[in-house]
Amino acid sequence: MGLPAKLEVQLLNLNSDSSPQFFMLHVFWHDFLYTPLLNILIWLYNVPAFGNLGVAIIYLTIIIRVVLLPFTVVSERSKILYERLGQKIDKIGHDFKNDPIQKKEMIRKVMREHKVSPWAKVMVLGVQALTLVLLYQVFLGGINGKLGDLYSWVAHPDFINTKFLGFDLGATHILFWSGLVGVILFFEIFIDYRSKPGGLTKSEVTYMIFFPAACFFILWILPMAKSIFILTSLCFSFIVIFFRQMIKKKMGASG
């Protein structure tokens, strides 16, 4: 039995100096990540979004955040437990300030006892970073009408309407939307830090100011579609923060 036509084309286009591992990674990325998401985006554009790409992006963002919710739960649980262990970790840091190796070992021991995974946040951030890169390609594919990878059950639209609330989703240097992301991100971090006992450290204040500013600049030079994705994701995060505050109060009452 012969290879599928798409795979044959990919094999023919593969450079002779490319490794099989790189090729398999490319096939996995394209066929199992990029293509399904592109098809979902176009289906959303065709059906529930009624030909509005901005609304389709919002729907797709919500779907992705729901799918990634287990990673978010793991990360938030670790964050809550880590905050509760803050005093113990600070005491260890003070007691073993002249012995960094022993300090790290004692911190690991406390975190193991309370089942706090130091890799949970790294795992979540890694998944989110890959998702951002993947969605960037998907949005560009939808905006530019590169729809050669649509499945048979997804109707091929005659054209892609990239207008959303009077703006072009494919345009860059849109001050309003990138600025809105920066402002909302600042307030989200501020709300998240507000309940922290003992006030903010200098590094936390720096993060609260410069991280939203950096996000603003990056989104300013990217297509506006990314700002819509980030805004929707931030709104979802506000819901997560609300439930996290409820869980913290419950854990505090039971502790």
Locate the domains of the chain by residue range.
5-172+222-254
Contacts of 119 (CB under 8 A, 6+ apart): none
Cβ–Cβ under 8 Å, residues 221 and 172: yes
Closest CA to 44 of 63, 67, 19, 31: 63
Task: Note the pLDDT tens digit of each residue in 158-208.
Answer: 888 899 999 999 999 999 999 999 999 898 888 777 766 666 777 778 888
Compute how many other C-beta atoms are within 10 angstroms of the C-beta atom of residue 104. Answer: 12
What do you get for the CA distance between the two ends of the chain, in Å?
63
Whether 182 and 144 have beta carbons less than 8 Å apart is answered as: no
Q: Are 41 and 57 in contact (CB under 8 A)?
A: yes
Name the residue with higher pLDDT: 111 or 170.
170
Is it the case that residue 11 has pLDDT exceeding 50?
no
Give the pLDDT band (50/70/90) at residue 124.
low
d(CA 129, CA 113): 30
Tokens of 140: 């560009």
Mean per-residue pLDDT for 146-169? 89
The 10s digit of each residue's pLDDT in 34-57 is: 889 999 999 999 999 999 999 999
pLDDT value, residue 207: 86
